Amino acid sequence: MHLLSGHARTAGILGWPVDHSRSPRLHGLWLRRHGIDGAYLPLPVRPERFADSVRALADLGFRGANVTIPHKEAAFAVCDRVDATAHRAGAVNTLVFRDGMIEGSNTDGWGFLANCAEAAPGWRAAAGPVVILGAGGSARAVAAALLDAGCPRVTLVNRTPARAEALARALGGPVAVADRPPLEGAAMLVNTTSLGMPGQPGPAIDLAPLPARAVVADIVYVPRETALLAAARARGLAVVEGLGMLLHQARPGFAAWFGVTPAVDDELRDVVGGDIPLRQSQG
């Protein structure tokens, strides 16, 4: 039994809704593994109460919190300080309460790169151009991380070109917008949209133009192997599943709140994703 004392450190995840989140079981495993006197809680907060709730958590002695949909931009606004990752992503997913200050960062891009390094160890951001499907918050975090890690060019492909163009302007640097994925010569293709999730088709893309050494990544993790990843595997391409990004992005926050840098391993994957279907049911 995991017992708490009056000195227990506490953190949690803010969202609306938040009952779908796998973060409590993720952080819960790490807390038990390291014998930490602490707890990580699901914190359902309505959007109109978000700022007041964050300040209340800080006043109650919480060490910090993760932030999920729909609060990531509101979290940016409530912070006293935000780091470079949050500025680049335009949103905050990790809050740390320290010395009376609310500090914010965005670990999504970091988690994406760490997941890629683990799943495709021969790949590097500087290996060549990257094509990103989508232009939302996840696309921004991934693109910013890739550019900062040395990616020579990012091309955004989105069903609403104006949104992709706005994101390209916000990111700056070697970012282009295209109406079709320019796969010839690309070192990586990344899906940051919801395509491939249950009830949705996968991206309608012919992967044939991708070079044999290219990597295909999908941030969707339900199912574990999306239609896009299955098509990439069938062509013999290296793939990066989405679950690892969820696991890796959690590590910096845990370290800041609980004082231990945790590991991502097979036990964690089983606990967090063991009940996720491997592939989408065909009905």
- Identity (one letter) of the amino acid at 166? A
d(C-alpha 174, C-alpha 171), whole Å: 9
Burial of 111 (0-12, 13-18, 19+ CB in 10 A): buried
Longest dimension (CA), the chain: 59
Q: What is the DSSP letter of 199?
A: T
**Cβ count near 56 (within 10 Å):** 12
d(C-alpha 108, C-alpha 148), whole Å: 13
d(C-alpha 241, C-alpha 217), whole Å: 6
How does 127-140 read in b/e, with b if 16+ C-beta sit within 10 Å? bbbbbbbbbebbbb
Q: Which residues are catalytic?
A: 72
